[in-house]
Amino acid sequence: MGSVTRAVFGELPSGGGTVEKFRLQSDLLRVDIISWGCTITAIEVKDRQGRASDVVLGFADLEGYLQKQPYFGAVVGRVANRIAKGTFKVDGKEYHLALNKEPNSLHGGVRGFDKVLWTPRVLSNGVQFSRVSPDGEEGYPGELKVWVTYTLDGGELMVNYRAQASQATPVNLTNHSYFNLAGQGSPNIYDHEVTMEADTYLPVDETLIPTGEVAPVQGTAFDLRKPVELGKHLQDFHLNGFDHNFCLKGSKEKHFCARVRHAASGRVLEVYTTQPGVQFYTGNFLDGTLKGKSGAVYPKHSGFCLETQNWPDAVNQPHFPPVLLRPGEEYDHTTWFKFSVA
């Protein structure tokens, strides 16, 4: 049986409140999550020798998370990923968001769900965070009540996202953890073997907005249906890295999404989700300037993200899966991160 413990992680400046850390522990995993941004700060996983390493990038203290940093471990919203030119229409009315990643809006805006204090509630095998996003927050319409629940069962971390809206609004929630199965602080992820359960992907323009085409992966660098070793694959196809949405099965049921294996340690991460897409991102914008846990630095390609999500810019692309949540409906999606040793 697992355990959940809570402790103070730090104080927000100018009386902004206390950030707490929740430790979820099972016989196979140890997961630390803080109430600032519902952020996963550590995941300790044993290798095949039984040696535990922390496999997510992040910081030892609250100051690290409060600085400008690329969403390490955080829940992002109200709308994850990019919205073209920061504008969209709902029922004929136009809304304008901050262009925090010129010329687009990214991950909910200047102060998204990753940069707020959530209210925690301890569960027997996890922790639930909640908050109310007020009408007009970051330019989005309507009040949104949100619940994010982390539960640990053996080697599986489950993340459930629920939301209810007072008026129609786009909603797309994900977790932005950066993984390195060799252990955080390892210089790159080139020796990771990746499999992605996707027959199609979304090509993007130079600002990383989907062009609207849903392209087959067959015969392209995006065909990851059979395992590829990441470093060699990037080299073979002359790729700077991945930062693309892979299109998954359209069902609302739990489906297999991706598998990443690190041969040297034996660690395997499998991701399952109810979402229609996943952003596979290989840390292309990391540049070694941030100082992480245990003195680690995080250069380009030193971590990967599997951000389960609706497709980027869906609010502006009618043939993408629907992204609007209306009053009386409930947004309810779950993603499972399953760790094992092979």
Q: How far apart are CA 30 and CA 55, in angstroms?
A: 11
Examine the pLDDT at 1 and tell me if it is beyond 80: no
Residue 126's CATH number? 2.70.98.10
Full residue range of the structural domain in which residue 259 is found: 3-341
Q: Output the pTM of the full model.
A: 0.98
pLDDT at 249: 85
Q: Taking Cα atoms as reference points, which of 209, 37, 202 lies closest to residue 106?
A: 209
pLDDT at 66: 98
Q: Give tens-digit pLDDT for 150-194.
A: 999 999 999 999 999 999 999 999 999 999 999 999 999 999 999
Question: In 10 A of CB 10, how many CB atoms?
Answer: 17
pLDDT at 3: 96
- Number of domains forming the structure of the chain: 1
121 is in an annotated binding site: no
125 is in an annotated binding site: no
Length of the chain: 342
81 is in an annotated binding site: yes
Q: Which 8-state DSSP code applies to residue 204?
A: B
Catalytic residues: 176, 307
DSSP-assigned letters across all residues of 134-164: -TTGGG--S-EEEEEEEEEETTEEEEEEEEE
C-alpha distances out from residue 277 to 152, 181, 256, 258, 307, Å: 23, 22, 11, 11, 8
Q: Give tens-digit pLDDT for 66-125.
A: 999 999 999 999 999 999 999 999 999 999 999 999 999 999 999 999 999 999 999 999
pLDDT at 18: 98
